[in-house]
Chains A and B, each alone.
Chain A
Amino acid sequence: MSFDWNEDDEDFFAGASFKPRTIEEDFAIPDDFANLGGAAIIPQDVVEETPFQQLIRHWMNERHAPDILPAQEMLLGRLLDHIRKQTDDVQLLRADPDSSEEEHFRITLVQTEIERVKFVIRSYIRTRLHKVEKFARHISATPELHDRLSKAELDHAKRYARLEETHYTSAVLQGLPPDQQSLDDNIAFMPPMVTAPSKTRAVFAHARQDCPPVRLPDGSTLEMTKGQISLTPYHVVEQLLAREEVELV
């Protein structure tokens, strides 16, 4: 499936066949996901990222970052529109009795690629969903985080936080004496009861361009040049990641 956005509908209807480039320009998901980092960090100074490559990047960032990252609603919307269009085109072509054997083969390839793009989208949404649930109570208590979530995610976070509290209350807390019923005790020497993302977790950051220096926890500074990969605590590269200057690998 091509994510070449210049391609217009007329191509499909006029010729009733795929241009070869539709498949060649394809950015396939490698079968072996361990290699995916390798595929995605190929320097792309010449070619601009296709939306699907962007999605792959955001998907990997999301999977590696301990914190929840801003939702990519626009990007998802564009990809989904494109999937929808491709699916319709495929339907049309399949229904066409004139299409040749070779074209059928191409249709199959396009269909497979559609499934694979859907897989990444699904995985991306599920990864975010997992974080939303894990940090539900932290999210609903921290308004600054709300902008990073889509409306559906935020609503789900609030619902889930309430759900969790209701469950604990009815299963445990209501049986306890009144003084012990709170769910957010903050006691010295005990970890907090609201799960918050651990920003000190180590991540591998790959510089997509030359980055301005960042301060490391020990006071020294780190200046990453393009292509460099560093293992740092997440909070060090948090800003760079937000500006899309690095990607997590």
Chain B
Amino acid sequence: MNTSTRQYGDLATQLIQESRRSTATDTLLKYNDVLVRTIVREQRQLESLIQSALSNQDGLDPGNDPMTPTVLLYQTAILRNKRCLLAYHHHRIERLKDLYWSVGGALPLLLSTHATAPSNAANMGADATSAPADIRSKLSPHEVDFLRSYNASLLTFRSGVLATEEVDLFAPILKPPKDLHVLVRVVLDCGVIQTEVGAIDFRRGQRFMVRRADVEHLIVQGYLEEV
């Protein structure tokens, strides 16, 4: 563990670097279970070191005790590792939330193992953030649980807010709408959708001029493409 090439905290630094890389390249990296476990092990080791150091200390004035610097060093390493671990997980949660919102809160789409719409959405380029293929495999089980609960909480929130019936909370807020209608090309069959002019059966390759509000969610999820 404590060889000349490695010191306490190195592993945590790796973890943080992964978060930074994730931000820099705007991708979700695979959950690094191995590294997290290793750091947790390091934490336990440090804890036992600190305990044995403290037990040697018996009753001396902390100011004069030769063990005090040792204890401080371990303590600092422990705190730093813990912060790094939490920061890593927090960073991932924030990324997942971004992804969740970028597909308009369509959790099943996000978690689907078979990359149906997402793979095409990625090719579209226009909205590359919308669900890169196979997110599920990059998540830890805890993160899947988190997303599910988050989704549930938001749905409760939505039914509690006044705005629900009239305003779609999950619609994008990047650009204000300029036109009422939008010309779309169908990228993926999405079945019969109710619009203001009646039901339309969206088939791949077709083009439609439809009311934006009616199909906004389909555009976000990558079924339709704005022309």
Most A CB within 10 A of own CB, among B36, B89, B97, B163 = B163
Establish whether residues A122 and B168, one from each chain, have CB atoms under 8 Å apart when the complex forms: yes
Establish whether residues A84 and B177, one from each chain, have CB atoms under 8 Å apart when the complex forms: no
Stretch at the interface among A6-14, A109-117, A216-224, A228-236: A109-117
Establish whether residues B171 and A122, one from each chain, have CB atoms under 8 Å apart when the complex forms: yes
Chain B residue nearest to A158 (CB atoms) is B153
Q: Report the bound CA distance from A2 to B136 in whole Å.
A: 47
A179 within 8 A of B: yes
B127 within 8 A of A: no
Q: How many residues of B contact A (CB 8 A)?
A: 45
B128 within 8 A of A: no
Known: A122-B168, A187-B79. A80 touches B162 (CB 8 A): yes
Q: Which residues of B contact A151 (CB under 8 A)?
A: 160
Stretch at the interface among A15-23, A166-174, A200-208: A166-174
Establish whether residues B157 and A129, one from each chain, have CB atoms under 8 Å apart when the complex forms: yes
> Measured between C-beta atoms, what is the minimum distance from A59 to chain B in Å?
11
B contact patch SS:
helix
B207 within 8 A of A: no
Establish whether residues A179 and B40, one from each chain, have CB atoms under 8 Å apart when the complex forms: no
Establish whether residues A115 and B213, one from each chain, have CB atoms under 8 Å apart when the complex forms: yes
Q: Report the bound CA distance from A120 to B47 in whole Å.
A: 52
Establish whether residues B180 and A172, one from each chain, have CB atoms under 8 Å apart when the complex forms: no
Q: Which residues of A contact B173 (CB under 8 A)?
A: 119, 122-123, 126
A contact patch SS:
helix
List residues of B (13-37) whose CB comes within 8 Å of A's CBs.
36-37
Establish whether residues A190 and B153, one from each chain, have CB atoms under 8 Å apart when the complex forms: no
Known: A171-B89, A171-B142. A111 touches B180 (CB 8 A): yes
A185 within 8 A of B: yes
Establish whether residues B168 and A172, one from each chain, have CB atoms under 8 Å apart when the complex forms: no
Partner of A172, one of B47, B78, B85, B162: B85
Partner of B169, one of A126, A160, A180: A126
Q: Report the bound CA distance from A193 to B197 in whole Å.
A: 53
Establish whether residues A115 and B177, one from each chain, have CB atoms under 8 Å apart when the complex forms: yes
Chain A residue nearest to B146 (CB atoms) is A167
Chain A residue nearest to B43 (CB atoms) is A176
A29 within 8 A of B: yes
A141 within 8 A of B: no
Q: Which residues of B contact A33 (CB under 8 A)?
A: 176
Q: Which residues of A contact B6 (CB under 8 A)?
A: none
B166 within 8 A of A: yes
Establish whether residues A180 and B47, one from each chain, have CB atoms under 8 Å apart when the complex forms: yes
Known: A156-B156, A168-B86, A168-B89. A150 touches B161 (CB 8 A): yes
Q: Report the bound CA distance from A112 to B213 in whole Å.
A: 10
Partner of A31, one of B90, B153, B178, B213: B178
> Measured between C-beta atoms, what is the minimum distance from B47 to chain A in Å?
4
18 A–B pairs (Cβ distance < 8 Å), ordered by A: A31-B178, A84-B166, A116-B177, A119-B173, A125-B163, A126-B169, A133-B97, A156-B157, A160-B153, A163-B150, A167-B142, A167-B143, A168-B90, A171-B36, A171-B143, A172-B36, A176-B47, A180-B47
What 5 pairs across the A-B complex have the smallest Cβ distances? A152-B160, A177-B47, A175-B40, A156-B157, A159-B153
- Having A84-B165, A118-B166, A180-B43, one finds 17 other A-B pairs with CB under 8 Å, namely A31-B176, A76-B162, A112-B179, A115-B212, A122-B163, A122-B167, A125-B163, A156-B156, A156-B157, A167-B89, A167-B142, A168-B86, A170-B145, A175-B40, A177-B47, A190-B79, A190-B83
